[in-house]
Structure 1
């Protein structure tokens, strides 16, 4: 845009077409305030009056940067310039006012329109939906003289947005013609509202699936925590072969691999992405960094980060957080300095990674300094996550009373994560008083979680206070809940298998436990005596 502006400035008397080109260029590149400034200059020129192509771009820019006052001034110019009856311009005015939640002003313009085309009807209905007035939106929809596929989909999306899937499905079934966008809209609606079974059924009904259809199913699984199903759907998509995965598909699958620890499949997706034109894709790169970091391959995560020609804030946040998680705090802090030097502005997520790095290195003073810098240098208001990092930093360093004082001074109530961090640190440093206070708070926040009682019972046990251990066991039993067993997963033959301690659900359970007994005997023959009674398969 800099070169375009220089060329434009050389013209002493730019006409309307030239002004429109500059205004459109600024709008397409996100310089919305420049659009408003250019319009202000344009309307004062003698030979460059704004026309019906100028106003819509300027009005959309006013909406983008919340410049309502300037938008109202543009509206005055529209009237003075004689464009009040132009449907294209008036529709843009409606969109600006409804986008600013002045639905009454938008509706007045709609009522005054002489020529209401289907675009105007759709825009007004969409305005009511945006302002959460589904009743008026539906009334207008029913009154619309004609309805195209876009208007039908707009109304269906309105019901989906407020979680009214029954009404959305009713309207969908009434549609005279359904295109692939219609099917995808209702599919994503089920996914967004957590009805995975309905999402699966509808997916099978779609007559012609495209990438958005497959992504609707795959992202729907991921959104609702069905990560194994994400991998199954991805494999089914590849076998089907009619639609190729895009970057959204690959990012979702890599995220599922990271959550499941499916490193081998993740590596395969990495190769697939590079061979299919996604090597320089920043979103795929970020997902790969996350995958390798969460699967323990931090060196590979760093290699992916270094290979990326384009990095965004998420790229930096992911690698800094990954390095911190793996105990490489010095590298994380070094990258944070590189990030600042490269001109990337950190956010709250960045500082979570930085504070975690300080926690793993025991850098209490540095952590406090970074926390203060976040507020003073970057005007980032700390949220409960950053406060939690600071409490964890102090607690792990053994400064339990300081951590407790920090909790008391927080502007919000501490959550269960913060009190659990204090409880865990209390066991390490055998501080019964802080542990009892933490359990008291956790009992209010998580009354159904017996794991908190177990932690305090272990502290009592370490100190030989067996009467207190017995008392806590009774209290834990009285809650009526049992500690949820930890779930693990392992990648076998391109599949991810989940299992619990003493799990017997697998069809090859007998063979698995037989192999485990064989390994136990082999360990014993080498002089190692495992604590087999803990696993329930000993002699």
Structure 2
């Protein structure tokens, strides 16, 4: 039965085609064509189809196949492979499927290896990989299958596991994958960020496969070299490259890129010495390499080296007439030392190159100026940034929190929300720290409600810990305990926070109960835990317990106490009046006591009226920090308690001569409407100053009417 033509009828090859192509091949194909039409046998058509396919006249090949069907001739295993090849070359999947159906109908699939291979190639090239895998699974004998294209198709289409499975099957059949196949598998691993698997494949290729890597192998590995998170693996790969360098013959460009990636890999693993050595071997240094080396030096504390690399980067980029990237500036700016002018120099560079308008650079500049203590400059940069993001707001709020300007921090938070910038967990953590420090309970409760509404409460334990600490500092220990109980995944910070919250509560003994419960739950106490316990002991006057926990740090838990723990013990002894025992404890300390230790003892001297010891301690404090007004005030109050007015007066004169100024006390008042107002002693800057002093005068009149006598012998 004649088959309908699926292709337009084409004339026989012309004389022009004969002259323009390989004359003998095309001429013989034309002869075979004529003979096929003349004799009309399957063999004659097979010869002609094969001839046209071999010289890439695929349309003529398919027309001959259709003519063969019109002559009611039955194609065989010698026909179909060439017909299918022509379908592949002309992207005729539909016709290829019809040919596939004929092959199956005639019983040639999957029994005939050549037909099976041709059909598999058809589906690999034109159909989906899933269909190609179905065809592949139906082929029982795979001796003549082209394994490498099959594996390549799997790895390039995201079927890495299937590709590895086929590779193992291929080797079990006695065939070895080509180098291009190995490279394709490694490339697929790289694309999926399967770094360890890529290195395992490379190791298998050279050991079991016996295949030598080529430049493409290393070019494929360039993307993962900076991300290898193992110093030993990066060293192993470095050695592998050195051993195969002469055999591979890498060009200077590829070799430079390989060395650059290795340097970044060493930097990523904090192997700064190796990274720096390779860094100097790189001829064309890119931005990523500079950033990797700078970050490695910064992380290792070698800031001077980091700035040297940054200077080299600036010089090279200036020579090439291109600016340093924003990321490089944000990397180096926060690390500028407080006394160094490098931060100012980098700011000037950013200004000259118009980089100071970038939001990330502005954020880094704010952090740099805050570190220098220039809050005004940080605020100016913030106000000049017209594209503020969440990080910008978080940075400026944290800056004002750091300098204890909580009123401004709260105003900035309100301004942030008015601009519809969504706060995140860092914003609320910072805001809650402000609330806890100044006991701003209503703002803490409002923040708590907002955190719940935004879904941040259960998602971030850090927020729950901050909220718990805030409630503890505000004296709401029940609320703090409730937050602690609601934390799903408690960590050491959670336990330390709740233990610390109880130390100044009406039930400080709960700190010890929680300490034992924490250990029963499998948590091991750390230094902060013991600091909280020792403060609780000091608050309760439990000297024996304080000394027990202090000694157990080293005997039971293997921790060496630091200055903070020693200060807690001194404070505990001084509060209960064991002043000379506290002095002896300080004298036998294995580390040099700082001003905090001596001030704890001085505070005890003032509480218990021990003037003689107070004078000795004060001399120590004046040697350590002569400009700290608090020590002078404590000694002055001690003189006042002992009615030594002349000594108190002389002390005030000495303070004036030395230029020591008493730091004014700052108080916070939270009104019934939830507003927070701050006042200095004798403050006259408040907007309602006149009304406030009128009320105070009225209160003083009432006190005098009640015969109240104020205590006037203290300097607060």
Class of the TM-score when normalised by the shorter of the 2 chains: 0.7 to 0.9
Deviates more, 1:356-365 or 1:516-525: 516-525
2:471 aligns with 292
1:426 paired residue number: 605
Q: Which has the greater radius of gyration? A: 2
Give the aligned partner of residue 142 of structure 2: none
- Residue 265 in 1 paired to residue 434 in 2? no
CA distance, structure 2, for counterparts of residue 397 and residue 336 of structure 1: 24
Q: Which residue of 2 aligns with 1:190?
A: 369
SS in 2 for 1:448: coil
2:693 & 2:676 partners in 1: Cα distance? 19
User: Are 1:79 and 2:242 matched, yes or no?
Assistant: yes
For residue 326 of structure 1, the aligned residue among 484, 505, 522 is 505
Q: 2 CA distance for matches of 1:43 and 1:394?
A: 65
Which structure 1 residue ranges, 5 or more long, are not aligned? 1-6, 28-34
Select the residue among 432, 446, 459 that pairs with 1:254. Answer: 432
Label 1:453 to 1:136 Cα distance change in 2 as closer, same or farther (>3 A): closer
Could you tell me which residue of structure 1 aligns to residue 582 of structure 2?
A: 403
Are 1:361 and 2:540 counterparts?
A: yes
The partner residue of 2:336 within 152, 162, 170 is: 162
1:414-493 aligned within 5 A: 414-449=593-628, 451-456=630-635, 458-459=637-638, 462=641, 466=643, 468-480=644-656, 481=660, 483-492=662-671, 493=673
CA shift at 1:414, angstroms?
A: 1.8
Match of 2:229 in 1: 61
Q: Distance in 2 between matches of 1:338 and 1:41?
A: 49
Retained in 2: the 8 A contact 1:254–1:291?
yes
Q: State how far apart, in whole Å, the 2-side matches of 1:300 and 1:291 are.
A: 10
CA gap of 1:182–1:316, structure 2 versus 1, over 3 A, is same
Residue 388 of structure 1: aligned partner: 567
CA distance, structure 2, for counterparts of residue 451 and residue 496 of structure 1: 26
Taking structure 1 as the reference length, the TM-score comes to 0.80
TM value normalised by structure 2:
0.62
Q: Tell me the CA shift for residue 415 of structure 1.
A: 2.0
**Structure 1 Cα separation of the partners of residues 282 and 682 of structure 2:** 72
- CA offsets per residue over residues 413-447 of structure 1, 9 Å max, x none? 22222212212222444434432321221232233
Of 672, 678, 684, 1:498 maps to 678
Equivalences, count: 505
Confirm or deny: 8 A CA contact 1:191 1:220 kept in the other structure. yes
Residue 373 of structure 2 aligns to a residue in which SS? Answer: coil
Aligned residue number for residue 94 of structure 1: 263
- Distance, in Å, in 2 between the alignment partners of 1:123 and 1:146 is 20
Indicate the SS of the match to 1:61: coil
Quote the RMSD (CA, aligned, Å). 3.9
Tell me how far 1:78 sits from its aligned partner.
Answer: 4.2
1:305 Cα deviation from its structure 2 partner: 1.3
1:358 touches 1:367 (CA, 8 Å); kept in 2?
yes
Change (3 A) 1:475 1:160: same
Q: Who is 1:137 aligned against?
A: 310
CA contact (8 A) 2:225 2:262 kept: no
Q: Using a 3 Å threshold, how does the CA distance of structure 1 residues 99 and 54 change in structure 2: closer, same or farther? A: closer
SS in 2 for 1:497: strand
Distance 1:487 1:225, change over 3 A: closer
TM-superposed deviation, 1:126 = 4.8
Return the offset for 1:524: 6.7
| Shift in CA distance, 129/319, structure 1 to aligned 2, threshold 3 Å | closer
> Is the 8 Å Cα contact of residues 332 and 357 (structure 1) preserved in structure 2?
yes
Counterpart secondary structure, 1:419: helix
Q: 1:227 to 1:89 in 2, by over 3 A?
A: farther
Worse-matched range after superposition: 222-231 or 99-108: 99-108
Alignment of 1:10-21 (within 5 A): none
Secondary structure of the equivalent of 1:479?
Answer: helix
* Whole-angstrom CA distance in 2 between matches of 1:348 and 1:391: 17
Which string of whole-angstrom CA distances, capped at 9 and with x for unpartnered residues, describes residues 452-511 of structure 1? 45544554555x5x4x44234313322214543422111245442221334333232232
Question: 8 Å contact 1:258–1:291 — kept in the other structure?
Answer: yes
Alpha-carbon distance change, 58 to 135 in structure 1, aligned in 2, over 3 angstroms:
closer
Matched, 1:513 2:693: yes
- 1:347-358 to structure 2, matched below 5 A, reads 347-358=526-537
How far did 1:371 drift? 1.4
Q: By how many angstroms is 1:59 displaced? A: 6.7
Cα shift at 1:17? 7.2
**C-alpha distance in 2 between matches for 1:262 and 1:166:** 37
1:31 is aligned to none
Alignment of 1:95-114 (within 5 A): 95-98=264-267, 105-113=274-282
